[in-house]
Amino acid sequence: MKALKKSGLTKKEIVQAYREVVRGRRLDERLWQLTRIGKTSFNISGQGAEVAQVAMAMAFDHEKDYFLPYYRDMTACLVWGMSTKDILLGSFGKDADPSSHGRQMPNHYGSKEHNIVSFASTVSTQMPLATGVAYAAQLEGSDDVTLTTTGEGSANQGEVQEAMNFAGVKKLPVIFVVENNAYAISTPIDEQYANEKMSDRAHGYGFEGIRVDGNDFTEVYLAFKKAVKDARDKKGPKLIELMVSRLTSHSADDDQTIYRSKEEIEDMKNRDPLNFMEKQLLDEGYLTQAEMDKIDEEIRAEVDAATDEAEAMPDPAPESLLEEVYAK
Ligand SMILES: Cc1ncc(C[n+]2csc(CCOP(=O)(O)OP(=O)(O)O)c2C)c(N)n1
Ligand SMILES: [Mg+2]
Please report how many Cα atoms fall inside a 13 Å half-sphere around the Cα of residue 327, on the Cβ side. Answer: 1
Provide the pLDDT confidence category of residue 57 given band limits of 50, 70 and 90. Answer: very high
Determine the residue type at 258: I
Q: In the chain, what is the straight-line distance between the N-terminal and C-terminal CA atoms, in Å?
A: 50
Phi–psi pair at 51, nearest 5 degrees: -65, -45
CA-CA-CA-CA torsion sign (215, 219, 225, 229): negative
Which residues sit opposite 180 in a β-bridge? 243
Ligand 2 mean position to 266 CA, how many Å? 18
Q: Ligand 1 in contact with 47 (CB < 6 A)?
A: no
d(CA 153, CA 155): 5
pLDDT at 60: 98
In this structure, which residue's CA is closest to atom 13 in ligand 1?
Answer: 184
Task: Specify the DSSP class assigned to residue 80.
Answer: H
Provide the pLDDT confidence category of residue 210 given band limits of 50, 70 and 90. Answer: very high
Counting ligand 1 atoms within 8 A of each CB, the residue from 154, 186, 245 with the most, and so the one to mutate, is 154
Beta strand 183-184 pairing with 187-188 = antiparallel
Provide the pLDDT confidence category of residue 118 given band limits of 50, 70 and 90. Answer: very high
Ligand 2 mean position to 185 CA, how many Å? 7
Ligand 2 mean position to 155 CA, how many Å? 9
Provide the pLDDT confidence category of residue 65 given band limits of 50, 70 and 90. Answer: very high
Whether 328 has a pLDDT exceeding 90, the answer reads: no
d(CA 84, CA 305): 10
Structure confidence by residue, pLDDT tens digits, 141-193 = 999 999 999 999 999 999 999 999 999 999 999 999 999 999 999 999 999 99
Nearest ligand atom owner, CA of 150: 1
Q: Ligand 1 in contact with 185 (CB < 6 A)?
A: yes
Say whether pTM exceeds 0.95.
yes
Please report how many Cα atoms fall inside a 13 Å half-sphere around the Cα of residue 1, on the Cβ side. Answer: 19
Q: Is the CB of residue 301 less than 8 Å from the CB of residue 30?
A: no
Domains of the chain by range and CATH? 4-311 (3.40.50.970)
- In the chain, what percentage of residues exceed pLDDT 70? 100
Q: How high is the mean pLDDT of the chain?
A: 97
Nearest ligand atom owner, CA of 45: 1
Provide the pLDDT confidence category of residue 247 given band limits of 50, 70 and 90. Answer: very high
pLDDT at 101: 95
Determine the residue type at 128: P
pLDDT at 76: 98
Provide the pLDDT confidence category of residue 58 given band limits of 50, 70 and 90. Answer: very high
Ligand 2 mean position to 154 CA, how many Å? 8
- From residue 252, alpha-carbon distances to 104, 107, 122, 185 in Å are 16, 12, 18, 11
Ligand 2 mean position to 267 CA, how many Å? 17
- Tally Cβ neighbours within 10 Å of residue 196: 8
- In the chain, what percentage of residues exceed pLDDT 90? 98
Q: Locate the ligand 1 atom nearest the alpha carbon of residue 70 and give its number.
A: 21
Structure confidence by residue, pLDDT tens digits, 281-316 = 999 999 999 999 999 999 999 999 999 999 999 999
Q: Locate the ligand 1 atom nearest the alpha carbon of residue 179 and give its number.
A: 21
Beta strand 174-180 pairing with 238-243 = parallel
Ligand 2 mean position to 243 CA, how many Å? 10
In this structure, which residue's CA is closest to atom 17 in ligand 1?
Answer: 151
Q: Ligand 1 in contact with 119 (CB < 6 A)?
A: no
Q: Ligand 1 in contact with 72 (CB < 6 A)?
A: yes
d(CA 89, CA 309): 9
pLDDT at 75: 98
Whether 48 has a pLDDT exceeding 90, the answer reads: yes
146-179: burial string, b at 16+ Cβ within 10 Å, e else: bbbbbbbbbbbbebbbebbebbbebbbbbbbbbb
Nearest ligand atom owner, CA of 153: 1
